[in-house]
Amino acid sequence: MTSVIRKYKFFYVKPLFKIFAKFEFTNIVCTSLDKSFDDFEYCYLKSVNRSYKYLSIKVKLFKTPITKLKVHAVLFKRYNGYRPFMFNVTLDACRFLNNTKRNPLASYFMVFLKPYSNVYHTCPFDVSRS
């Protein structure tokens, strides 16, 4: 029996162009699956002008600490009505907040949200301690 030793060389190729994409939020839907656990006080998308839209969410928590949190996000494309496009993701937010590099798509959006939000908690999250 002979053993074969292979050597691989890896090298980095610098991209010659950059890809840009534009998308805008048109709607947001916040749903509570258990009304005895939480309730959305408000959840809306405010359009200031054609360019700027602001997302505002406030949740009342009735039972703490929070140990499980899931976020479901879908991107829709307008083509004969709105149809799911590109991604349809369910994210375990507790695992993501413990290690934000775990999910590249969520990390991409977190970079934009972090300076303007107060989402700096990890699980278990207890309202009485914050």
Name the helix (H) or strand (E) containing 126.
none
User: Rounded to an integer, what distance in angstroms lies between the CA atom of residue 104 and that of residue 40?
Assistant: 28
**pLDDT the model gives residue 4:** 54
Q: Which of 60, 53, 55, 32 is CA-nearest to residue 44?
A: 55
**pLDDT the model gives residue 116:** 78
The answer to pTM > 0.85 is no
The model's pLDDT over 80-96, given as tens digits with 9 standing for 90+, comes to 777 777 778 888 888 88
User: Rounded to an integer, what distance in angstroms lies between the CA atom of residue 5 and that of residue 121?
Assistant: 48
**pLDDT the model gives residue 43:** 92
Q: What is the DSSP letter of 98?
A: H
Cβ atoms of 31 and 90 within 8 Å: the answer is no
**pLDDT the model gives residue 15:** 64
> With a cut of 50, which residues of the chain have pLDDT below it?
none
> Residues of 86-100 as b/e, b for ≥16 C-beta within 10 angstroms?
eeeeebbbbebbeee
**pLDDT the model gives residue 8:** 53
